[in-house]
Amino acid sequence: MKQLNQPTEYLFAYGTLRDQQVQLALFGRQLLGTPDAVVGYKLSPLQITDPTVIATSGSDQHTMLCQTGNPSDRVPGLLFEITRGELAAADEYEVSDVRRVSVRLASGREAFVYVAA
């Protein structure tokens, strides 16, 4: 059985999860990411009302991925290797307007990403 503290998951981040202050608050460490992109999505604005999320990110203006299905739509970001415990912390941080799904990135790697609910 895999431990919660062993890196076992891939998470693609395109918004506040790339910010050092958010990473330190959620994971207790700064993550090292690899540039990648999600294909067939575009960014849309998202107004945040959760005071905890606003306090952690420092902003009530976030973005979310919306699927377009158009292969020319690409959103750049960073691919992180994280633990299951860190993935659970990211799930707690995200608001109910988004959901976590698995996607194939431009690199061909499979990763979790947060998209419009």
Domain residues of the chain, as ranges? 7-37+45-116
d(CA 66, CA 32): 25
Of 9 and 6, the structure prediction assigns the larger pLDDT to 9
pLDDT at position 55, please?
Answer: 85
pLDDT at position 61, please?
Answer: 76
Which residues on adjacent β-strands are paired with residue 47?
61
Which stretch, 5-9, 56-60, 66-70, has highest mean pLDDT?
66-70
Model's pTM, two decimal places? 0.83
pLDDT value at 2 more than 60: no
pLDDT at position 4, please?
Answer: 53
d(CA 33, CA 31): 6
Pick the CATH number of 7-37+45-116 from 3.40.50.800, 3.40.50.300, 3.10.490.10, 3.90.1720.10: 3.10.490.10
In this structure, what are the phi and psi dihedrals at residue 8, rounded to the nearest 5 degrees? -140, -5
Task: Quick: pLDDT tens for 8-63.
Answer: 899 999 988 999 999 999 999 999 999 999 999 999 887 778 788 778 888 777 78
